[in-house]
Chains A and B, each alone.
Chain A
Amino acid sequence: MVVVVQRDACVGAGQCTLVAPDVFDQDDDGIVLLLEPEVEGALLEAANKAARLCPARAIAVSAQ
């Protein structure tokens, strides 16, 4: 599955980095960075959780 982030929408609250540290990080300004654009298994689960928790709806996980 493919992960896409919208850096423009991010508010830097860091939920993604907290629940899926192997998939997301935050840059020096706190804005989301995508570490793993393709995820399966445990990483997919974590990425989905991050997408659900992201308060800015800045994360999408989809088949392509």
Chain B
Amino acid sequence: MTTSSTEIENAMSNTAGCPFHARSLPSDGTPLAPSPRFAEWREQGAFVPLDFQDGHEGLVATRYDAVVSVLQDPRFSMLPARMPVGPATLDEPKSEGAAAAVPLELPGDLDEAAQASELLNLLTLDGAEHSKLRRAVTARFTVRQARSREPWIRDMIAGEVARIRGSKDVVDLWHDYAMPISARTHCHVIGIPPQKYEDFVELFVEPSTAQQKYDFIRALLEERRNDPGEDVITDLLNNPELTQIEIEGLLRLLMGAGRDSVAYLIATASVALLTHPEQMELLRSDVEGVRPAVEEFMRAGSMFVTLFARTATEDVEIEGTIIRAGTSVAVSPVAANRDPAHWGENPEQFDVTRDAFGHIGFGYGIHGCIGQQVARVEIREAITALLEGFPDISLVSAEQLEPHPFAHPVAVYEAGEVLVRLTTA
């Protein structure tokens, strides 16, 4: 069943002024149990109308095949970066994240070089400009590189396990476990020395200004210039093809991007397991199963309700729908990851034994997540350590089990408190 372009145009005019905000992203779902609206939209067509924050009327893709088609089609551009209308966002995000990584407006008080760097965001570039910068950093994000980090990540996590074990009875897994694991790994891979960990957290986990971030990056580059290591900063400093402005722009994006997502996924996977004890037992009895289960955590717990919207640069026809030049298309990983046409029976069910490879939790296409291999290792090791270290762990409460505002103008969920009791005593 496909929707013709006339139907789309009709649908667009028919729903104008809809009292139910039918064309905003829905607010009645939770991260692990998304709004039923997504299933309705999938039924209605490959693309359905959606309002964008600038008043522009665009589309949202919720079916797996349509999502994949848009994400691999070079006729879509990342600019102009328009955001869909969603439920209320948090007044004050608890942490820096995707929004920080995607400047929509340049802060006026930013110095000129930093303004130029801001414009070099991978997530706002297309084609050759994008691939030049992306290729400058892929070397540290390969499968082999991620594997070589495993022993370090495992040791670091053992330290975090020991810390929470010694602390108190009730622990916030998000803030006291997932956050430090994500931030320490981020520093390790990028090349931020351990003595600057606290500064990194202050600037890139807690809210800060863009200028403060650039000042930190510049000082760090100076410090690392004669102190090479196995990390991204060393690669960037050794790359003769990059300008200082490009290097600073890449680091600004890498430091801000993905760190919060890893913490989110560790927290969400924990909540999913704690609320599905039989699945948790299954993994505990065979921790090798955590490796493939990470794909199911990503599928069922996707953080992105929609990705950064793409805009058609010419008229594009996909699955019988004509998308006019200039139309913004938001694609929804949350919806595509539950499309029965792709996943078969029970896509809503959390099932750690499912082959969930091919989920859209890391995006897809040329902007597909660059950090995904190291993220997989972090999530796998963090969950394995929890299963092995805390046989009596139980859930006290989790903010994510309630409908959740979005963290940013970008339609992503933010992890909230996940309170657990570590022992039965």
B-facing mask of A1-42, CB < 8 A → 1, else 0? 000000000011110011101000110111100000000000
Evaluate contact between A56 and B365: CB separation under 8 angstroms: yes
For A53, the chain B residues whose CB sits under 8 A away are 357-358
- How many chain A residues touch B (CB < 8 A): the figure is 20
Known: A26-B144, A56-B366. A18 touches B373 (CB 8 A): yes
A-facing mask of B221-241, CB < 8 A → 1, else 0? 000000000000000000000
Evaluate contact between B358 and A30: CB separation under 8 angstroms: no
Evaluate contact between A30 and B138: CB separation under 8 angstroms: yes
Evaluate contact between A55 and B134: CB separation under 8 angstroms: no
For B90, the chain A residues whose CB sits under 8 A away are none
For A21, the chain B residues whose CB sits under 8 A away are 143
Overall SS of chain B's interface: helix
- How many chain B residues touch A (CB < 8 A): the figure is 24
Evaluate contact between A12 and B366: CB separation under 8 angstroms: no
Evaluate contact between A17 and B143: CB separation under 8 angstroms: yes
A-facing mask of B365-377, CB < 8 A → 1, else 0? 1101110110000
Evaluate contact between A52 and B72: CB separation under 8 angstroms: no
Tell me, yes or no, whether B139 is within 8 Å of chain A by CB. Answer: yes
Evaluate contact between A25 and B144: CB separation under 8 angstroms: yes
Tell me, yes or no, whether B364 is within 8 Å of chain A by CB. Answer: yes
For A30, the chain B residues whose CB sits under 8 A away are 135, 138-139, 141-142
Known: A12-B135, A29-B135, A49-B357. A55 touches B365 (CB 8 A): yes
What's the nearest-Cβ distance from chain A to residue B333, in Å?
13
By beta carbon, the residue of chain B nearest A24 is: B143
Within 8 A of A (CB), among B362-416: 362-366, 368-370, 372-373
Evaluate contact between A29 and B138: CB separation under 8 angstroms: yes
For A26, the chain B residues whose CB sits under 8 A away are 142-144
Complex Cα distance A52/B180, Å? 35
Complex Cα distance A37/B370, Å? 26
Complex Cα distance A38/B146, Å? 27
Within 8 A of A (CB), among B130-167: 131, 134-135, 138-139, 141-144, 146
What's the nearest-Cβ distance from chain B to residue A12, in Å?
3
Complex Cα distance A63/B373, Å? 31
Q: Which 8 A-B pairs have the closest CB atoms?
A: A30-B138, A12-B138, A17-B143, A26-B142, A14-B143, A55-B368, A30-B142, A55-B364
Name B's A-contacting residues (CB within 8 A): 71-72, 131, 134-135, 138-139, 141-144, 146, 357-358, 362-366, 368-370, 372-373
Name A's B-contacting residues (CB within 8 A): 11-14, 17-19, 21, 25-26, 28-31, 49, 52-53, 55-57
